Structure 1
């Protein structure tokens, strides 16, 4: 069976509900409020993306440029629907955002990843390797900062520096 093509584009607030459902259904992400996904779609579309197949959201990436770090894209969440995993959609979402002309000044990608998240670790190491860049890991958020002790520590992954090639 041939898979239908995946369309990747910037989100709008209308995609917020679908991004929230995708995060909830992924089973591996910390699910934020629906309102946060609406805000990300409306105000941070330049650093976020959605992947659609046949009108259904099969993946998304959310991120932003942290205050004081205009050359850095912090990836907040990336999720791919269970039936669409293993098809390179996560990597395509990252490359889509990095490839936009309005993001040509991004030099670094940062994300926090828990040590047990093998899929994200593989995604970020693979992206760095394919670009011939290092992926440095340092302390992110220690487990004790998370309420109720119900979360692993998060390590900070940093890939770069990117160079823009027009």
Structure 2
């Protein structure tokens, strides 16, 4: 990528197909249907962030939602960063942008699941949780045997918070 200029913004429905293509380029992320991506970009736009380069191409995306029973929590479903933008902390910038955007609405916890051995995700979230001075708890949310019939690794829940926005992030 020639330029490092990235625009972070709330997604819009017209980003749905581009999100689908971005996730395809970000193996091993689980692909969702285009329709699901359209919903992430419209119904869940308030809890998502899109990153586009100077030409307007979608190069990063975080989808998430606030669970109805826990409106103080952002659950991060998926983080996608185009290969050309990796190693530049784009995932961290997007996640901190979301935390800053949602904090005034009472969000003070971030949750996600990570499969054991996913070093990139572990590093991303560890960096964000450290930047937010957020203590972290871990537990298995969905187990390999109980939930996946032994066909998928455990999904470990990371719950961090309450977080604090520094003057640098706010």
Show the 5 A alignment for 1:60-99. 60-99=61-100
CA distance in 2, matches of 1:84, 1:14: 22
Partner of 1:129: 130
Report the TM-score when normalising by structure 2.
0.89
- Equivalent-residue separation in structure 2 for 1:15 and 1:52 (angstroms): 10
Is 1:5 matched up with 2:11? Answer: no
**Cα distance in 2 between the residues matched to 1:75 and 1:83:** 22
Match of 1:152 in 2: 153
Structure 1 unpaired stretches of 5+? none
Change (3 A) 1:123 1:4: closer
Structure 2: gaps spanning 5 or more residues = none
For residues 102 and 21 of structure 2, the distance between their equivalents in structure 1, rounded to whole angstroms, comes to 29
Write the distance in 1 (CA, Å) between the matches of 2:4 and 2:56. 11
The aligned length equals 165
Partners of 2:110 and 2:71 lie apart in 1 by: 11
